[in-house]
Structure 1
């Protein structure tokens, strides 16, 4: 019997406080809103184990079309835990990382819509500039700018 093979990663899910704020934040980074809908009913709860639920969902897609973020705002049942302020060494999912053309320019734009730089932008050898940034609603993401292959 042959081993089942992975076909692709469809998306990563993030539960958010404000869907509109999260869409604005990820749009500013460069993702595009692919669709928005409300998912409700017992059938959805059978997948998540939450029973009957009502969730507002937005799907964001990267410019290359290969990666997606599923942003979810739970209307019911209500949110029971908040990991947004957990330190970077806490167990569980930490952040998504995005590669950008100009990290300083993007950080400036994100700060203009209420995001906060965590620490500072640092350079790793001759390869990357890196930073973590939190959205106004506390979502943590990483940004990377490739620098080793650029011509001076």
Structure 2
């Protein structure tokens, strides 16, 4: 028995609709949206009787997914969205894009802000970090050549 795949990365947000719109502009597709609640769900997360609205976003190749969650019950207890890049724990999600400049132009219209600058890594990639919806840290990578 071995690892088969990574199914998704979970991100908790306050405004689920705005996050869906942002990630759609990035190129992800909305796979589904639902409300999950009850004691059974809380047994998985350890949160007890919970109610959470989720949206599953899929990458165009069908292999990667983001699960966006908005907790209704219990309320969120911590906020580390604006932690710097060297903070402990989960850091960011990195997306491969065709054209980093075009992607930045599109996402800036949704409030994205460049963290540092777009840099070139050897002759392989152009890379940058942005702050997306609610300050989420997102990486963009454009393969060169």
Instruction: Bin the TM-score by the shorter chain.
Output: over 0.9
Q: Which residue of 2 aligns with 1:28?
A: 25
Q: Secondary structure at the match of 2:44?
A: helix
Q: Deviations over 1:35-59 (max 9, x none)?
A: 0000000000000000000000000
Q: What is the Cα deviation at residue 136 of structure 1?
A: 3.4
1:85 is matched with 82
Deviation at 1:7, TM superposition (A): 1.2
Q: Among residues 85, 94, 105, which one is paired with 2:102 in the alignment?
A: 105
Look up the SS of the partner of 2:43 in the other structure: helix
Cα distance in structure 1, aligned partners of 2:39 and 2:99? 45
| 1:19 aligned residue | 16
When Rg is computed on C-alpha atoms for both structures, the one with the higher figure is 1
Q: Distance in 1 between matches of 2:133 and 2:36?
A: 25
Q: How many residues align?
A: 145
Question: Which residue of 1 is the match for residue 142 of structure 2?
Answer: 145
TM-score (norm 1): 0.93
**Which of 34, 38, 41 lines up with 2:38 in the alignment?**
41
Structure 1: 5+ residue runs without aligned partners? none
TM-score by length of 2: 0.98
- Any conservation in 2 of the 1:116–1:136 contact (CA below 8 Å)? no
Query: Take 1:75 and 1:116, find their aligned partners in 2: how far apart are those partners?
Result: 28
CA deviation after TM superposition for structure 1 residue 21, in Å: 1.0
Output one character per residue of 1:39-89: Cα deviation in whole Å (capped at 9) or x when no partner.
000000000000000000000000000110000000010000001010100
**1: CA distance between counterparts of 2:131 and 2:25?**
13
The answer (yes or no) to whether the contact 1:37–1:58 under 8 Å persists in 2 is yes
